[in-house]
Chain A
Amino acid sequence: MEKILNRLFQTILILFIVSILCFTLTKIAPGDPVLTYVEPNMSEEYINQLREDLGLTKPIAIQYIIWLKNILHGNFGNSLINNRPVLDQILERLPSTMLLMGTSLLLSVILAIPIGLYTGKHKNGLVDKIINIFSYIGISIPTFWFAIIMIYLFSVYLHVLPSLGMRSDGINTFSDLMKHLIMPTCVLTFTNVSQFTRYIRSSTITELSSDYVTVQRAYGMSETGILYRHVLKNAILPMITVLGMSLQGVVSGAIITEQVFAWPGTGQLAVNAVMTFDYPLIMGITMFTALLIVIGNLLADILYVVIDPRIRSNG
């Protein structure tokens, strides 16, 4: 219990540091943020007024405190460009990103576990070697290149998959959504599954050579039994941490994937914000993503403790 409380306290501290980093991020950008707003017709007075309204004339420390206070009240500010609340914009995009991320992560785990176990068990076999090559390609290929090759292959030449967005115009069916989901999910999954497979494979190898397994073998336990009862559990456990950590990568990776496939998620919103210098939106998205990641990591840690009794007793 104390451990969990301690962890919670840490989380709050982390979030505090994150908020400072987020805030600094947009403040280091050179130039006057109010310029984004300025049209050639505007009078100097109006521009100064704007600056004041946006709180840009106050000392940085005060600006930060105001910003933080607002965020704690769930107010991430309004976009400079379309004046809509930042939080609304993030929340309306979030389901799309969650769908893409969720599908991809789930698929990656489902694929990675059997592949990892198999290749770990049959280390250096032919299948292992082939999978190994693919997993190296998966972690080494530039995402956008892979994505654009997919588009040209499946959309332009073969005409089998749609390349843009989440739904076809005016069609609101589940199968249509799934069709749109295929390519972006593949791109994200390829990288993830490659990474996960490697983790599981290596922990399988470690577990299989552990004393415990040797003893079990000596007692005549079947290989499949060993694999399922013992290795599976211990090889998957570290996956929880890996998943927690890969959240960040998935959000970042989704930036490019969403851009290429015109997927209407938060990654696309983020790029939009950067490209229009919409700094409340940039700060909001960064903060929000960090929040998700921190909470994700926290949950992963708690889950880990719950599942693995060793940690509980050692802790």
Chain B
Amino acid sequence: MRDNIMKNLKLGFKEDKLAVIGVIIILILTVTSAFAFLYPVDANAISVTSRLAKPSLIHPFGTDDMGRDYLARCLYGGRASLLVGFLSMILSTMIGVIVGSISGYMGGKIDAILMRFVDALMSLPTFLIMVVMNAYLKPGIKNVIIIIGLLTWMSIARIVRGETMSLKEREYVVYSRISGQSRLKIILQHILPNIMPTIIVTATINIASAILMESALSFFGLGIRPPTASWGSMLNNAQGYMIKAPYLAIFPGVLILLTVISFNYLGEALRKIFEHK
């Protein structure tokens, strides 16, 4: 099974050059953000004298309104944005998979209750609730991740539930059930591996939407706690300097766009590859 996936992946990526570019972009951004400390400039060091400096040799991306090196901030900002993207994806995928597989496998009342709960959550104006929660809880990356994670797992749960329900009726699952394997074991051993492709696809796209949500929250001055930056908060901050220093908006804006597009595209590419098999 696993080998099969890998083979498909190789084949798929060979065909889809854009997906490869997407992966490369994601890798580059992840690596540069992770190794941001190698760039020997303090992202939080302020300067009274060199504010809003245009991009130059000393400051390749210029400086922001507090005189901080913008390249360094973009690197560390990427770290925050990607971290929010990855971790909230992991959180939402975990909840989604747990709820979805339980719901799908158990069926009956448990399924009905869980699914109504999912329906209810999906009916809430999610973004408004994120704004409310962010506004009233202590700011910080931890809360952003938790809030986004807690409010975006529903679609995964639905998808996993659907697939679990159909897998449940497959012969080998039925066989395992009859031979007395525990439910947990069946879900872990037989069901999850089979819905992995779907989970991976959804999770990839969820990273993209989490990064976008974080930037949207930044628009309201919520989210990551300064002086730490995220691309979203940098972009929001840059709005005030659209005329004086447009590059402040361009760098983080383009970085967000590139990252989100890459994840979205990668998600779709993966979907195609998995469907092919």
A touches B in complex, CB < 8 A: yes
Chain A residues lying within 8 Å of B212, measured Cβ to Cβ, are 140, 142
Q: Which of A137, A145, A253 has the most CB of B within 10 A?
A: A145
**B128 & A286 in contact (Cβ 8 Å cutoff):** yes
Tell me which residues from 269 to 288 in chain A have a Cβ below 8 Å from any Cβ of chain B. 270-271, 274-275, 282, 285-286
Chain B residues lying within 8 Å of A253, measured Cβ to Cβ, are 127
Q: With the chains together, A239 CA to B215 CA distance in Å?
A: 28
Chain B residues lying within 8 Å of A26, measured Cβ to Cβ, are 132
Q: With the chains together, A142 CA to B217 CA distance in Å?
A: 11
**B119 & A10 in contact (Cβ 8 Å cutoff):** yes
Tell me which residues from 211 to 261 in chain A have a Cβ below 8 Å from any Cβ of chain B. 245, 248, 251-253, 255-256, 259
Is A29 close to B, CB under 8 A?
A: yes
Q: With the chains together, A89 CA to B127 CA distance in Å?
A: 20
Is A144 close to B, CB under 8 A?
A: yes
**B137 & A286 in contact (Cβ 8 Å cutoff):** no
Chain B residues lying within 8 Å of A18, measured Cβ to Cβ, are 120, 123-124
**A14 & B239 in contact (Cβ 8 Å cutoff):** no
Is B129 close to A, CB under 8 A?
A: yes
Is A139 close to B, CB under 8 A?
A: yes
**B219 & A144 in contact (Cβ 8 Å cutoff):** yes
Is A13 close to B, CB under 8 A?
A: yes
Chain B residues lying within 8 Å of A143, measured Cβ to Cβ, are 216
Chain B residues lying within 8 Å of A285, measured Cβ to Cβ, are 125, 128
The smallest beta-carbon distance between B241 and chain A, in angstroms, is 11
Chain A residues lying within 8 Å of B129, measured Cβ to Cβ, are 25, 286
**A152 & B135 in contact (Cβ 8 Å cutoff):** no
Chain B residues lying within 8 Å of A31, measured Cβ to Cβ, are 136
What residue in chain A is nearest B135 (Cβ atoms)?
A274
**B220 & A137 in contact (Cβ 8 Å cutoff):** no
Size band of the A side of the interface? 35 or more
Against A, the Cβ 8 Å flags (1 = close, 0 = not) of B203-241 are 000001000100110011000000000001001100100
**B131 & A293 in contact (Cβ 8 Å cutoff):** no
What residue in chain B is nearest A291 (Cβ atoms)?
B123
The smallest beta-carbon distance between B243 and chain A, in angstroms, is 8
Contact of A137 among B117, B122, B208, B261 (CB under 8 A): B261
Size band of the B side of the interface? 35 or more
Q: With the chains together, A136 CA to B137 CA distance in Å?
A: 33
**A248 & B123 in contact (Cβ 8 Å cutoff):** yes
Chain A residues lying within 8 Å of B136, measured Cβ to Cβ, are 28-31
Q: With the chains together, A145 CA to B125 CA distance in Å?
A: 21
**A255 & B128 in contact (Cβ 8 Å cutoff):** yes
Chain A residues lying within 8 Å of B216, measured Cβ to Cβ, are 142-144, 256
With A14-B120, A148-B242, A290-B123 as contacts: A140 and B257 at CB distance below 8 Å: yes
**B125 & A289 in contact (Cβ 8 Å cutoff):** yes
Contact of A274 among B131, B208, B253, B257 (CB under 8 A): B131
Chain A residues lying within 8 Å of B253, measured Cβ to Cβ, are 142, 145
With A140-B261, A271-B131 as contacts: A145 and B123 at CB distance below 8 Å: no
Chain B residues lying within 8 Å of A142, measured Cβ to Cβ, are 212, 215-216, 219, 232, 235, 253, 256-257
With A137-B261, A252-B127, A286-B125 as contacts: A148 and B239 at CB distance below 8 Å: yes
Contact of B123 among A252, A275, A282, A293 (CB under 8 A): A293
With A17-B116, A140-B208, A144-B216 as contacts: A30 and B137 at CB distance below 8 Å: yes
Q: With the chains together, A253 CA to B249 CA distance in Å?
A: 21
Contact of A17 among B120, B239, B265 (CB under 8 A): B120
Q: With the chains together, A297 CA to B123 CA distance in Å?
A: 9
Contact of A13 among B116, B128, B232, B249 (CB under 8 A): B116
**A256 & B219 in contact (Cβ 8 Å cutoff):** yes
Chain B residues lying within 8 Å of A274, measured Cβ to Cβ, are 128, 131-132, 135
Q: Which of A17, A21, A25, A286 has the most CB of B within 10 A?
A: A17
The smallest beta-carbon distance between A206 and chain B, in angstroms, is 10
Is A141 close to B, CB under 8 A?
A: yes
Chain A residues lying within 8 Å of B128, measured Cβ to Cβ, are 251-252, 255, 267, 270, 274, 285-286, 289
Chain B residues lying within 8 Å of A14, measured Cβ to Cβ, are 116, 119-120, 123
What residue in chain B is nearest A295 (Cβ atoms)?
B123
Is A113 close to B, CB under 8 A?
A: no
**A248 & B126 in contact (Cβ 8 Å cutoff):** yes
Contact of A21 among B124, B249, B261 (CB under 8 A): B124
Q: With the chains together, A245 CA to B242 CA distance in Å?
A: 35
What residue in chain A is nearest B124 (Cβ atoms)?
A290
Chain A residues lying within 8 Å of B264, measured Cβ to Cβ, are 136, 139-140
3 nearest CB pairs, A to B: A252-B127, A17-B120, A140-B260
| 5 examples of A-B residue contacts, CB within 8 angstroms | A21-B121, A145-B253, A148-B242, A248-B123, A251-B125
List 5 extra interface pairs beyond A10-B116, A29-B137, A152-B242, CB under 8 A.
Answer: A17-B117, A29-B132, A140-B261, A267-B128, A293-B124
B contact set with A: CB distance below 8 Å:
116-117, 119-129, 131-133, 135-137, 208, 212, 215-216, 219-220, 232, 235-236, 239, 242-243, 249, 253, 256-257, 260-261, 264-265
